[in-house]
Amino acid sequence: MPRLVAVAVPVPLLDALTYRVPEPLPLPAVGARVRVPLGPRQLTGCVVAHPSEPPSSGELKDITAVIDDQALLPAGVVDLCQWVAEYYLAGIGDAIGAALPPGAAQRPSAFKTRRVAVATVQGLSALGVTDSGLTQKQRAALDLVAAAGGLDQRELSERGASRDVVARLVALSLVTWRHDQVERDPFPHAAAAPASRDEERELTPEQAAAVSALSDRVAAGFHVALLHGVTGSGKTEIYLRVADLVRQSGRQVLLMVPEIALTPSVAAFLRDVFGDRVAIQHSGLSTGERHDQWHRIRRGEVDVVVGTRSPVFAPLPRLGLVIVDEEHDTSYKQDEAPRYHGRDVAIVRASRENALVVLGSATPSMESYHHALSGKYQLLTLSKRVLDRPLASVRIVNMREEYAAEGPDVVLSRLLVESIEARLEKKEQVVVLLNRRGYATSVMCRQCGDTFDCPNCSISLTVHRAPRGWRARCHYCNHAVLVPKSCRKCAAPYLEHVGFGTERVEEHLATRFPHAQIGRVDRDSVRRKGALTSLLSRFAAGELDILVGTQMIAKGHDFPRVTLVGVISADVGLGMADFRSAERTFQLLTQVAGRAGRGEQPGEAIVQTLYPEHYSVQLACRQDYAGFFERELAFRKGLRYPPIVALVNAVVRGRSLEDATHVADLVAARVLKADAGRTFTVLRPAPAPLTKLRGEHRAQLFLKGSHRGHMRRALQDALEEMPEVRRRVVVDVDPLSVL
Ligand code: ADP
Ligand code: ZN
């Protein structure tokens, strides 16, 4: 019997590689990490199988070391990764990489203990004296170490304490290295608005019915339920009750949320109910925190994992329930390899582990609702808010009329201004949404019409306010320049800011309501760790009157004092060349309107738009989900888009558009040839909407059909025949965005 292992290595697009395990090394388990040679390099890989035969070709090499004497990844998770690699046409190394704890593939020695710097007794006393003889840098580093109580070298460097400075402090015995096994508690970052929960509150009749239906399914094997509950209908309470039942039955719970910082109350509630048997996993945590949490889960110390996308791979051995909150949210789809959808992987995982799945949303994705209507999923509906609170009433402002009356520069309509004023007087709070960050959408010369475009991408640069003047930045590649005083082409000094984003809305609000406290939430304003939490908790505490922001403020929040939601422009998403743009618009408008009137006072939403008659605007204003679904499904049927058919997208990158299109044509031809039975359609390759991105030109092709398996295989075969272009092709199975 040969001692062979198939190893997933962290190299894109590669299949598992077979190695021999030389004596006297022990045969590593599936899920254990090993060191292997690949070309001139030594890599850390993960064993995914024990092949009985060596591959027919190629020289067989030996692994160099076994890192884990037991499986690091449970075998079930390794299997799940193999499914992901196959389904999404990704390399097994990428899929395994998504499941490994942070750092596990890079530094095998660093993952068991972490070396952190701590201040010694001398160090602490040196801080107390003015004349310690330390340089300014040493002093600052010592301060940092003493205050933080354990930072590793990377964290120190990130905070400005260089390796040399720390080494010097160690040499002076002011600082020492400790091998840290203390777990960092990530909850302080998460708990922005820990609303307290009444012990046993009475469920509404709809909540009770949903809990009862789900209770019947606990321990009854694989099952998917779609909980369609309007905003404020109390879905969280249902999650908690069912989670508790599952936990009592001795199985574990995975709760997935789009972004933890945006739904801090969920994490806080869970902490309340389940105490320290909860682990939290999301990208906002430091590497060290994530690493600790991962190992707590692996050691079986938790019953409940709360996390974003990647925790779908959490090493839980007894999974009984997966809840995917806001299942329609696009952040569940990973936009780099492996391009998996967290919700869909969750369902696959649950089916393999006989677990119950609850998908929750006020605006379910077209896919999930389609499955619910066809009977594949069980549909549970909450049509009313808790405590008989009404849904927000919505009014539409036709901005064409507003421009005609007030001029073309209007940002805040008269109705919106009056309504904000009225709320501020009553000390109620206001949320203002514009799903576009920055100050202006572009710069244009009024004399020659020249616009400021990104040199690397086919997109205009967004204008941001900078400490000194204006900065134009590309939101795709981050290229940034100061906006000059005059036109680069014709030298005219008439450069105009065109369009507006959240920064400009904030400015308008500040001018119009000088006494109001205004906070802004978008990717720029929350870049600093903790900034988002701080803004949200200030708003929750009533220190802010108005919160303006992008879609980040539309998600899941429960601020009872918000009685007005203003939407500056409902049209931002409608112009996108994407078949999901109506769905996105409907979801965003419904969700943001759902932030109003969640407390005792009823809520109102005001939606500004240039297309008041558009069906996604109209139906969102009536909060008519079923009506929207029907209308949108008719559109998808007509053009044969998901959920009617499945879609696979392949983007080809090239030096020029001709080059990219040419290769895309070749791929398309081979795919067609591979599909002898004509089981799907291949759309003629065309330039991608973003024809140029980060300096590369892009053409794309689509495969459309009911058989994903056929499409995947044909594309896979075609690409395998063209190894020289494989790396230039990005495949996206079930794409969410096709820009
Ligand atoms: P959803 O997620 O459906 O939008 P939440 O779960 O955030 O709604 O609940 C909305 C609010 O109603 C929360 O403040 C929650 O504490 C409260 N709530 C939930 N269930 C009940 C109930 N049965 N009685 C009273 N209040 C409830
Ligand atoms: Zn760019």
Interval 154-173: pLDDT, tens = 888 888 899 999 999 988 88
Q: Does ligand 1 lie within 6 Å of residue 597's CB atom?
A: no
> Which residue CA neighbors atom 23 of ligand 1 most closely?
203
Rg (CA), the chain: 28
| Average confidence (pLDDT) over 349-361 | 97
Q: Does ligand 1 lie within 6 Å of residue 383's CB atom?
A: no
Share of the chain above pLDDT 90, in %: 66
Cα(513)–Cα(376) distance, rounded to whole angstroms?
A: 51
Question: What confidence score (pLDDT) does residue 608 get?
Answer: 96
Question: What confidence score (pLDDT) does residue 195 get?
Answer: 46
Sign of CA dihedral 263, 264, 267, 268: negative
Q: Are 362 and 229 in contact (CB under 8 A)?
A: yes
> Which residue CA neighbors atom 26 of ligand 1 most closely?
386
* CA of 77 relative to ligand 1 center, distance in Å: 34
Q: Are 231 and 242 in contact (CB under 8 A)?
A: no
Beta bridge partners of 61: 19
Question: What confidence score (pLDDT) does residue 111 get?
Answer: 41
Residue 434 pLDDT greater than 80, yes or no: yes
Cα(664)–Cα(378) distance, rounded to whole angstroms?
A: 41
| Average confidence (pLDDT) over 597-616 | 93
> Cβ–Cβ contacts within 10 Å for residue 232, how many?
25
Question: What confidence score (pLDDT) does residue 528 get?
Answer: 82
Question: What confidence score (pLDDT) does residue 109 get?
Answer: 40
Atom of ligand 1 nearest to the CA of 558: 7
Q: Are 649 and 580 in contact (CB under 8 A)?
A: no
Mean pLDDT of the chain: 90
| Average confidence (pLDDT) over 359-370 | 98
Question: What confidence score (pLDDT) does residue 191 get?
Answer: 41
Q: Does ligand 1 lie within 6 Å of residue 204's CB atom?
A: yes
Tokens for 485? 């005083």
Mutate to test the pocket of ligand 1, among 227, 381, 558 (most ligand atoms within 8 A of CB): 558
Total residues found in the chain within this entry: 739
> Which residue CA neighbors atom 1 of ligand 1 most closely?
232
Higher pLDDT, 583 or 1: 583
> Which residue CA neighbors atom 9 of ligand 1 most closely?
234
Which residues, chain by chain, have CB under 5 Å from ion ligand 2?
454, 456-457, 474, 476-477, 479
Which H, E and C letters describe 532-545, residue by residue? HHHHHHHHHCCCCC
Atom of ligand 1 nearest to the CA of 233: 3
Residues with Cβ within 8 Å of 7's Cβ and at least 6 positions away in sequence, in order, are 16, 17, 18, 19, 34, 36, 45, 46, 47, 48, 63
Using 50, 70 and 90 to split pLDDT, how confident is the model at 229? very high
Question: What confidence score (pLDDT) does residue 194 get?
Answer: 42
Using 50, 70 and 90 to split pLDDT, how confident is the model at 107? very low
pTM: 0.86
Closest ligand to the CA of 693: 2
* CA of 383 relative to ligand 1 center, distance in Å: 13
For the chain, how are helix, strand and coil distributed in percent, rounded to 5?
Answer: 35, 25, 40
Cα(697)–Cα(651) distance, rounded to whole angstroms?
A: 10
> Which residue CA neighbors atom 22 of ligand 1 most closely?
203
Q: Does ligand 1 lie within 6 Å of residue 361's CB atom?
A: no
Question: What confidence score (pLDDT) does residue 193 get?
Answer: 40
* CA of 350 relative to ligand 1 center, distance in Å: 27
Mutate to test the pocket of ligand 1, among 201, 206, 237 (most ligand atoms within 8 A of CB): 237
Tokens for 428? 């109620």
* CA of 441 relative to ligand 2 center, distance in Å: 14
Cα(354)–Cα(324) distance, rounded to whole angstroms?
A: 16
Question: What confidence score (pLDDT) does residue 381 get?
Answer: 97
Closest ligand to the CA of 454: 2
pLDDT in tens, 640-697: 999 999 999 999 999 999 999 999 999 999 999 888 778 899 999 999 999 999 999 9
* CA of 453 relative to ligand 2 center, distance in Å: 8
Question: What confidence score (pLDDT) does residue 197 get?
Answer: 55
Mutate to test the pocket of ligand 1, among 239, 363, 386, 391 (most ligand atoms within 8 A of CB): 386
